[in-house]
Amino acid sequence: MKCTRCRAKAAVALPRHNAGFCPECFLVFFSRQVEKAIKDKKLFTNQDRILVALSGGKDSLALARELQNMEYDVTGLHIDLAIPESSERARGHVIRFCRDYQIPLHVIELEREDLPIPKLKKFFKRPVCSVCGQIKRYYFNRFALENSFSVLATGHNLDDEAARLFSNVLRWDTAYLGDQGPLLPDEQGFVRKVKPLYRLSEFETANYSFLSRIDYSFTPCPYSKGASFTFYKKILDELEHHQPGRKISFYEGFLNRARNTFARLDQEQGKEPAPCSCCGYPTTTGICGVCRIRKTISSRTTASQPTFSRT
Protein backbone atom coordinates (compact mmCIF):
# COMPACT_ATOMS: atom_id res chain seq x y z
CA MET A 1 0.00 0.00 0.00
CA LYS A 2 1.22 3.50 -0.88
CA CYS A 3 0.95 6.61 1.30
CA THR A 4 -2.15 8.59 0.31
CA ARG A 5 -0.26 11.90 0.65
CA CYS A 6 3.24 11.30 -0.76
CA ARG A 7 3.07 7.86 -2.48
CA ALA A 8 5.94 6.45 -0.35
CA LYS A 9 5.46 3.05 1.30
CA ALA A 10 2.54 3.28 3.76
CA ALA A 11 3.16 2.19 7.37
CA VAL A 12 -0.31 2.78 8.86
CA ALA A 13 -3.54 1.70 7.15
CA LEU A 14 -6.72 3.59 8.09
CA PRO A 15 -9.72 1.85 6.48
CA ARG A 16 -12.25 4.33 7.86
CA HIS A 17 -10.50 7.12 5.97
CA ASN A 18 -9.92 4.86 2.99
CA ALA A 19 -6.27 5.89 3.35
CA GLY A 20 -2.79 4.78 4.37
CA PHE A 21 0.15 6.90 5.48
CA CYS A 22 3.92 6.72 5.75
CA PRO A 23 5.21 7.66 9.25
CA GLU A 24 5.78 11.36 8.44
CA CYS A 25 2.42 11.81 6.71
CA PHE A 26 0.63 9.92 9.50
CA LEU A 27 1.91 12.53 11.98
CA VAL A 28 0.59 15.28 9.69
CA PHE A 29 -2.78 13.48 9.46
CA PHE A 30 -2.88 13.21 13.28
CA SER A 31 -2.13 16.93 13.76
CA ARG A 32 -4.85 17.87 11.28
CA GLN A 33 -7.41 15.79 13.12
CA VAL A 34 -6.53 17.47 16.42
CA GLU A 35 -6.56 20.89 14.77
CA LYS A 36 -9.95 20.18 13.19
CA ALA A 37 -11.38 19.16 16.57
CA ILE A 38 -10.03 22.35 18.22
CA LYS A 39 -11.31 24.66 15.47
CA ASP A 40 -14.66 22.96 14.69
CA LYS A 41 -15.70 22.70 18.32
CA LYS A 42 -13.98 25.95 19.41
CA LEU A 43 -12.20 24.09 22.23
CA PHE A 44 -9.59 26.78 23.02
CA THR A 45 -7.23 29.36 21.54
CA ASN A 46 -3.60 30.40 22.03
CA GLN A 47 -4.77 32.74 24.80
CA ASP A 48 -5.86 29.86 27.04
CA ARG A 49 -3.79 28.29 29.83
CA ILE A 50 -4.35 24.59 29.31
CA LEU A 51 -4.00 22.01 32.07
CA VAL A 52 -3.57 18.55 30.51
CA ALA A 53 -4.50 15.61 32.73
CA LEU A 54 -1.63 13.15 32.27
CA SER A 55 -2.20 9.54 33.27
CA GLY A 56 1.08 8.29 31.78
CA GLY A 57 -0.78 6.39 29.03
CA LYS A 58 -0.43 6.88 25.28
CA ASP A 59 -3.43 9.17 24.82
CA SER A 60 -2.73 11.89 27.35
CA LEU A 61 1.01 12.00 26.60
CA ALA A 62 0.28 12.18 22.85
CA LEU A 63 -2.17 15.01 23.52
CA ALA A 64 0.31 17.05 25.58
CA ARG A 65 3.04 16.55 22.97
CA GLU A 66 0.78 17.51 20.09
CA LEU A 67 -0.56 20.63 21.84
CA GLN A 68 3.00 21.62 22.70
CA ASN A 69 4.01 21.16 19.03
CA MET A 70 1.11 23.43 18.11
CA GLU A 71 2.53 26.03 20.53
CA TYR A 72 -0.34 26.03 22.97
CA ASP A 73 0.37 26.95 26.61
CA VAL A 74 0.42 23.50 28.22
CA THR A 75 0.95 22.33 31.83
CA GLY A 76 0.58 18.75 33.09
CA LEU A 77 -1.40 17.44 36.06
CA HIS A 78 -0.94 13.88 37.28
CA ILE A 79 -2.97 12.25 40.03
CA ASP A 80 -1.05 9.54 41.85
CA LEU A 81 -3.71 7.02 42.83
CA ALA A 82 -1.42 5.10 45.25
CA ILE A 83 -2.13 1.73 43.64
CA PRO A 84 0.85 -0.57 44.35
CA GLU A 85 3.25 -0.84 41.40
CA SER A 86 0.98 0.58 38.69
CA SER A 87 0.79 4.12 40.16
CA GLU A 88 4.53 4.34 40.69
CA ARG A 89 5.13 3.22 37.11
CA ALA A 90 2.57 5.64 35.66
CA ARG A 91 3.94 8.56 37.67
CA GLY A 92 7.48 7.72 36.51
CA HIS A 93 6.37 7.87 32.86
CA VAL A 94 4.69 11.25 33.39
CA ILE A 95 7.67 12.73 35.24
CA ARG A 96 10.17 11.57 32.59
CA PHE A 97 7.92 12.77 29.74
CA CYS A 98 7.48 16.23 31.26
CA ARG A 99 11.18 16.50 32.05
CA ASP A 100 12.20 15.46 28.50
CA TYR A 101 9.76 17.83 26.79
CA GLN A 102 10.06 20.59 29.40
CA ILE A 103 6.38 20.68 30.25
CA PRO A 104 5.63 22.02 33.77
CA LEU A 105 4.06 19.28 35.90
CA HIS A 106 1.98 19.17 39.07
CA VAL A 107 1.27 15.99 41.00
CA ILE A 108 -1.58 15.39 43.43
CA GLU A 109 -1.04 12.39 45.69
CA LEU A 110 -4.23 10.68 46.82
CA GLU A 111 -2.26 9.09 49.69
CA ARG A 112 -1.70 12.60 51.09
CA GLU A 113 -5.38 13.42 50.53
CA ASP A 114 -6.24 10.35 52.61
CA LEU A 115 -8.03 8.93 49.57
CA PRO A 116 -5.68 6.20 48.28
CA ILE A 117 -7.63 3.99 45.86
CA PRO A 118 -6.74 0.60 47.45
CA LYS A 119 -8.14 1.85 50.77
CA LEU A 120 -11.37 3.13 49.15
CA LYS A 121 -11.88 -0.24 47.51
CA LYS A 122 -12.76 -1.68 50.93
CA PHE A 123 -15.46 0.90 51.65
CA PHE A 124 -17.61 0.80 48.52
CA LYS A 125 -19.75 -1.83 46.86
CA ARG A 126 -19.74 -0.08 43.45
CA PRO A 127 -16.68 -0.64 41.20
CA VAL A 128 -13.75 1.31 42.60
CA CYS A 129 -12.93 2.66 39.10
CA SER A 130 -16.13 4.72 39.24
CA VAL A 131 -15.15 6.10 42.68
CA CYS A 132 -11.70 6.81 41.25
CA GLY A 133 -13.20 8.61 38.23
CA GLN A 134 -15.27 10.81 40.51
CA ILE A 135 -12.22 11.75 42.60
CA LYS A 136 -10.07 12.45 39.54
CA ARG A 137 -12.71 14.73 37.99
CA TYR A 138 -13.05 16.60 41.29
CA TYR A 139 -9.31 17.27 41.57
CA PHE A 140 -8.94 18.14 37.87
CA ASN A 141 -11.59 20.83 38.28
CA ARG A 142 -10.46 22.07 41.66
CA PHE A 143 -6.78 22.28 40.74
CA ALA A 144 -7.53 24.05 37.45
CA LEU A 145 -9.71 26.68 39.15
CA GLU A 146 -7.37 27.25 42.09
CA ASN A 147 -4.43 27.74 39.76
CA SER A 148 -6.11 29.93 37.12
CA PHE A 149 -6.15 27.49 34.21
CA SER A 150 -8.89 28.31 31.73
CA VAL A 151 -9.10 24.81 30.22
CA LEU A 152 -8.75 21.23 31.43
CA ALA A 153 -7.89 18.78 28.63
CA THR A 154 -8.07 15.00 28.84
CA GLY A 155 -6.80 12.34 26.44
CA HIS A 156 -10.17 10.65 25.82
CA ASN A 157 -10.13 9.22 22.29
CA LEU A 158 -12.86 8.15 19.87
CA ASP A 159 -13.03 4.62 21.31
CA ASP A 160 -13.51 6.00 24.85
CA GLU A 161 -16.19 8.41 23.69
CA ALA A 162 -18.07 5.92 21.51
CA ALA A 163 -18.06 3.30 24.30
CA ARG A 164 -19.33 5.87 26.81
CA LEU A 165 -22.08 6.93 24.41
CA PHE A 166 -23.02 3.30 23.78
CA SER A 167 -23.23 2.67 27.52
CA ASN A 168 -25.32 5.82 28.13
CA VAL A 169 -27.68 4.91 25.29
CA LEU A 170 -28.11 1.34 26.53
CA ARG A 171 -29.26 2.75 29.88
CA TRP A 172 -30.97 5.82 28.32
CA ASP A 173 -29.16 7.85 30.93
CA THR A 174 -30.43 11.26 29.84
CA ALA A 175 -28.38 13.23 32.38
CA TYR A 176 -25.11 11.73 31.14
CA LEU A 177 -26.20 12.03 27.50
CA GLY A 178 -26.81 15.75 27.99
CA ASP A 179 -23.33 16.11 29.44
CA GLN A 180 -21.32 14.06 26.97
CA GLY A 181 -19.15 15.68 24.32
CA PRO A 182 -15.70 17.05 23.49
CA LEU A 183 -16.53 20.46 25.01
CA LEU A 184 -18.11 21.24 28.36
CA PRO A 185 -18.10 25.04 28.74
CA ASP A 186 -17.03 26.71 31.98
CA GLU A 187 -19.97 27.48 34.22
CA GLN A 188 -20.86 27.83 37.88
CA GLY A 189 -17.66 26.58 39.46
CA PHE A 190 -16.68 24.25 36.64
CA VAL A 191 -13.64 24.89 34.45
CA ARG A 192 -14.04 24.33 30.67
CA LYS A 193 -13.32 20.68 29.85
CA VAL A 194 -12.15 19.52 26.44
CA LYS A 195 -11.27 16.28 24.64
CA PRO A 196 -9.19 17.26 21.58
CA LEU A 197 -8.50 13.61 20.61
CA TYR A 198 -12.15 12.69 20.13
CA ARG A 199 -11.70 12.24 16.35
CA LEU A 200 -8.78 9.81 16.78
CA SER A 201 -9.02 6.12 17.62
CA GLU A 202 -6.99 4.23 20.20
CA PHE A 203 -5.08 2.60 17.33
CA GLU A 204 -4.22 6.04 15.95
CA THR A 205 -3.05 7.50 19.27
CA ALA A 206 -0.94 4.36 19.87
CA ASN A 207 0.66 4.83 16.44
CA TYR A 208 1.28 8.50 17.10
CA SER A 209 2.99 7.75 20.43
CA PHE A 210 5.04 4.96 18.89
CA LEU A 211 6.15 7.04 15.89
CA SER A 212 6.88 10.04 18.14
CA ARG A 213 8.96 7.78 20.41
CA ILE A 214 6.89 8.64 23.46
CA ASP A 215 7.70 6.28 26.32
CA TYR A 216 4.25 5.60 27.76
CA SER A 217 2.82 3.30 30.41
CA PHE A 218 1.11 0.13 29.14
CA THR A 219 -0.25 -0.95 32.51
CA PRO A 220 -4.06 -0.91 32.60
CA CYS A 221 -5.79 -0.23 35.90
CA PRO A 222 -5.54 -3.50 37.89
CA TYR A 223 -9.09 -3.02 39.18
CA SER A 224 -10.73 -2.56 35.77
CA LYS A 225 -10.78 -6.25 34.76
CA GLY A 226 -14.24 -7.25 33.52
CA ALA A 227 -15.38 -3.61 33.28
CA SER A 228 -18.39 -3.15 31.00
CA PHE A 229 -16.52 -0.45 29.06
CA THR A 230 -13.94 -2.96 27.86
CA PHE A 231 -16.77 -5.15 26.61
CA TYR A 232 -18.50 -2.27 24.81
CA LYS A 233 -15.22 -1.34 23.15
CA LYS A 234 -14.93 -4.89 21.81
CA ILE A 235 -18.45 -4.76 20.40
CA LEU A 236 -17.75 -1.43 18.70
CA ASP A 237 -14.42 -2.72 17.34
CA GLU A 238 -16.28 -5.62 15.75
CA LEU A 239 -18.78 -3.20 14.22
CA GLU A 240 -15.98 -0.95 12.96
CA HIS A 241 -14.25 -3.93 11.41
CA HIS A 242 -17.33 -4.75 9.33
CA GLN A 243 -18.39 -1.16 8.71
CA PRO A 244 -15.33 1.16 8.75
CA GLY A 245 -16.28 4.64 9.93
CA ARG A 246 -19.19 3.48 12.07
CA LYS A 247 -17.70 4.68 15.37
CA ILE A 248 -17.13 8.27 14.28
CA SER A 249 -20.51 8.47 12.54
CA PHE A 250 -22.22 7.11 15.68
CA TYR A 251 -20.47 9.69 17.86
CA GLU A 252 -20.64 12.67 15.53
CA GLY A 253 -24.25 11.88 14.66
CA PHE A 254 -25.03 12.10 18.36
CA LEU A 255 -23.15 15.41 18.73
CA ASN A 256 -24.82 16.97 15.70
CA ARG A 257 -28.35 15.63 16.06
CA ALA A 258 -29.14 14.50 19.60
CA ARG A 259 -26.88 16.00 22.23
CA ASN A 260 -28.56 19.40 22.47
CA THR A 261 -31.95 17.77 22.99
CA PHE A 262 -30.63 15.86 26.01
CA ALA A 263 -28.81 18.95 27.33
CA ARG A 264 -32.09 20.96 27.11
CA LEU A 265 -33.96 18.19 28.90
CA ASP A 266 -31.40 18.34 31.69
CA GLN A 267 -31.83 22.13 32.00
CA GLU A 268 -35.62 21.83 32.09
CA GLN A 269 -35.32 19.38 34.96
CA GLY A 270 -33.59 22.20 36.83
CA LYS A 271 -30.51 20.36 38.01
CA GLU A 272 -28.56 23.55 38.67
CA PRO A 273 -25.28 23.03 40.52
CA ALA A 274 -24.75 24.81 43.84
CA PRO A 275 -21.67 24.96 46.11
CA CYS A 276 -21.05 21.79 48.15
CA SER A 277 -21.86 22.50 51.79
CA CYS A 278 -18.52 20.97 52.85
CA CYS A 279 -15.90 22.05 50.30
CA GLY A 280 -17.65 24.77 48.27
CA TYR A 281 -17.10 23.11 44.90
CA PRO A 282 -20.18 22.66 42.72
CA THR A 283 -22.59 19.79 43.02
CA THR A 284 -26.25 19.06 42.32
CA THR A 285 -26.60 16.88 45.41
CA GLY A 286 -25.99 19.23 48.36
CA ILE A 287 -22.77 17.54 49.41
CA CYS A 288 -20.41 16.68 46.55
CA GLY A 289 -19.35 13.13 45.68
CA VAL A 290 -15.85 13.47 47.11
CA CYS A 291 -17.04 14.93 50.41
CA ARG A 292 -19.54 12.07 50.62
CA ILE A 293 -16.70 9.60 50.02
CA ARG A 294 -14.75 11.28 52.81
CA LYS A 295 -17.75 11.10 55.13
CA THR A 296 -18.22 7.41 54.40
CA ILE A 297 -14.66 6.60 55.44
CA SER A 298 -14.31 9.19 58.23
CA SER A 299 -15.54 6.76 60.88
CA ARG A 300 -12.24 4.93 60.49
CA THR A 301 -9.85 7.55 59.19
CA THR A 302 -9.36 11.28 59.58
CA ALA A 303 -9.54 13.14 56.29
CA SER A 304 -6.70 15.58 55.73
CA GLN A 305 -6.91 18.91 53.96
CA PRO A 306 -5.92 18.94 50.27
CA THR A 307 -2.26 19.71 49.60
CA PHE A 308 -0.77 20.05 46.14
CA SER A 309 2.87 19.43 45.36
CA ARG A 310 4.84 20.58 42.35
CA THR A 311 7.64 18.52 40.83
Q: Does 129 bind ligand FES (CB under 6 A)?
A: yes
3 state SS for 148-175 = CCCEEECCCCHHHHHHHHHHHHHCCCHH
Q: Does 128 bind ligand FES (CB under 6 A)?
A: yes
Our CA dihedral for 99, 101, 106, 110, rounded to 10 degrees, sits at -70
Q: Does 279 bind Zn ion (CB under 5 A)?
A: yes
DSSP-assigned letter for residue 243: S
User: Residue 224 binds which entry of ligand AMP, Zn ion, ligand FES, none, with Cβ cut-offs from 5 to 8 Å by kind?
Assistant: ligand FES
User: Residue 180 binds which entry of ligand FES, ligand AMP, Zn ion, none, with Cβ cut-offs from 5 to 8 Å by kind?
Assistant: none
Least Cβ distance, residue 5 to ligand AMP (angstroms): 28
| Count, residues near Zn ion per rule CB under 5 A | 5
Residues 156, 209: Cα–Cα separation, whole Å: 15
Are the beta carbons of 107 and 311 closer than 8 angstroms? yes
User: Residue 279 binds which entry of ligand FES, Zn ion, ligand AMP, none, with Cβ cut-offs from 5 to 8 Å by kind?
Assistant: Zn ion
Give the start-end residues of each E strand in the chain. Answer: 12-14, 19-21, 49-53, 73-80, 105-109, 151-153, 183-184, 192-194, 274-275, 282-283, 309-310
User: Residue 78 binds which entry of ligand AMP, ligand FES, Zn ion, none, with Cβ cut-offs from 5 to 8 Å by kind?
Assistant: ligand AMP
Q: Does 119 bind ligand FES (CB under 6 A)?
A: no
Site string for ligand FES, 165-194 (x = CB under 6 A): ------------------------------
Q: Which parts of this chain interact with ligand AMP (CB under 6 A)?
A: 53-55, 59-60, 77-79, 81, 136, 154-156, 160
Binding test (CB under 5 A) with Zn ion, winner from 169, 258, 263, 278: 278
User: Residue 223 binds which entry of ligand AMP, Zn ion, ligand FES, none, with Cβ cut-offs from 5 to 8 Å by kind?
Assistant: ligand FES
Q: Tell how strand 49-53 and strand 19-21 pair up.
A: unpaired
Q: Tell how strand 49-53 and strand 73-80 pair up.
A: parallel
Cα–Cα distances (Å) from 184 to 6, 175, 287, in that order, read: 37, 14, 22
Residues 21, 1: Cα–Cα separation, whole Å: 9
Write out the residues near Zn ion by the rule CB under 5 A. Answer: 276, 278-279, 288, 291
Write out the residues near ligand FES by the rule CB under 6 A. Answer: 81, 117, 128-129, 132, 221, 223-224
